[in-house]
Amino acid sequence: MKADVAVGQYCEGSSFLHKLNPKWKILFAIFYITVIFFAKNIFAFALLILSAVLLIAMSGINVKVLLRGLRPIVLIIAFTAVINIFWLRGDTEIFHLGFIHIYLEGVINALLIVLRVVMLVLGTSIILTYTTTPIALTDGIEQLLAPLAKIKVPVHEFSMMMTIALRFIPTLVEETDKIMSAQKARGSDFSTGSLVKRAKALIPVLVPLFISAFRRAGDLATAMECRCYRGGEGRTRMNVLHSTWRDPVMLLMLCVLLTLIILLNKYAPGYRLSM
């Protein structure tokens, strides 16, 4: 189950994206999310798909790994698609049964929304978590927030907390899977019955999960104290982050992508996204 979680996973490599400055990669991820929300018509979304294919090629990550990372959001994707198909009205009706009306515009809109969600997950995962180590991500966040340290904001501690939380998401998911498997072996049922019954069945999972999480937090705190960790004041780094020629090239690529999408939105014909 741990392999299905995109958040917090890192795939070792030496690709173009792996060698980008983590500080800039955070900004690139935000930029890419903005670009995705600018896409409004079919041609713009087709260009987004091409950009995702290019990101995959630039990362060197196996496509199967990326597809496994989409499994946790399958229900969200399905729910989003159903809502758009059954609730959005248009001019071309393709199915009618009682009070249920399905329009071609609703189907196209659902497809584009699903593509947007998939692009959001894939883009941010490839640019950030899959190609950036937690330590490098911590340093990148700290460098971005460095100006706040002048007004006594604990930037280093905040960055460390974010990175630790990100790092332990897959661990907690794996722990949950083990606990649920153990409970199923003892006769617990998590998939049948009413919603209230299934919620009550999760209590034997939540209690040991919280205990395990607090135990891990205590062990981590002890390990950090044994290594004389005292926060970011006066702390040096083994690897100092530097920008290279790859960072402006990536920025230029994203700017070109945004420009092309804006032009396609304005001049390309075809169906336009309604939300």
| Cα radius of gyration (the chain) | 23
At residue 253 the predicted structure's pLDDT band, cuts being 50, 70 and 90, is very high
Residue 6 clears pLDDT 80, i.e. is over it: no
Q: Is the pLDDT of residue 87 over 80?
A: no
Q: Tell me what the mean pLDDT of segment 106-125 comes to.
A: 87
Q: For residue 267, what pLDDT band results from cuts at 50, 70 and 90? A: confident
| Position 27 pLDDT exceeds 90 | yes
Question: Do 261 and 47 meet the contact criterion of CB atoms below 8 Å apart?
Answer: yes
Q: Evaluate if residue 80 carries a pLDDT over 80.
A: yes
The two structure tokens encoding residue 143: 């460098």
Q: What is the mean pLDDT of residues 122-145?
A: 84
What is the arithmetic mean of pLDDT over 245-271?
89
Residue 237's pLDDT is 67
Greater pLDDT, 166 or 210: 210
Instruction: State the CB neighbour count (10 A cutoff) for residue 253.
Output: 15
Q: Report the phi/psi class of residue 61: left, alpha or beta, with left for phi > 0 and alpha for psi in -120 to 50.
A: beta
Q: What is the mean pLDDT of residues 177-195?
A: 79
For residue 96, give the H/E element and its range: strand 93-97
In this structure, the number of other CB atoms found within 10 A of the CB of residue 68 comes to 15
Phi, psi of 100 (to 5 degrees): -90, 120
Q: Residue 2 — pLDDT band, cuts 50, 70, 90?
A: very low
pLDDT at position 10 is 78
pLDDT of amino acid 5: 53
Question: Between the ranges 2-11, 67-76, 259-268, where is the mean pLDDT highest?
Answer: 259-268
The answer to whether 245 and 20 have CB atoms below 8 angstroms apart is no
* Whole-Å CA distances, 243 to 23, 92, 226, 248: 9, 52, 33, 9
- Mean predicted lDDT score pLDDT of the chain: 82
Pairing, β 93-97 against β 100-103: antiparallel
Question: Average pLDDT, stretch 24-48?
Answer: 92
Whole-angstrom distance, CA of residue 74 vs CA of residue 31: 25
The model's confidence at residue 171, banded by pLDDT at 50, 70 and 90, is confident
Q: Which helix (H) or strand (E) holds 101?
A: strand 100-103
Out of 100-104, 110-114, 256-260, give the one with best mean pLDDT: 256-260
Main-chain phi, psi angles of 164, to 5 degrees? -65, -45
CA distance 126 to 55: 7
Mean pLDDT, rounded, for 141-166: 80
pLDDT computed for residue 1 by the predictor: 45
- Residue 95 — φ and ψ, nearest 5°? -155, 140
**Helices (DSSP H) in 70-103: which residue ranges?**
74-87
Question: Does pTM top 0.85 for this prediction?
Answer: no
Residue 17 has pLDDT above 60, yes or no: yes
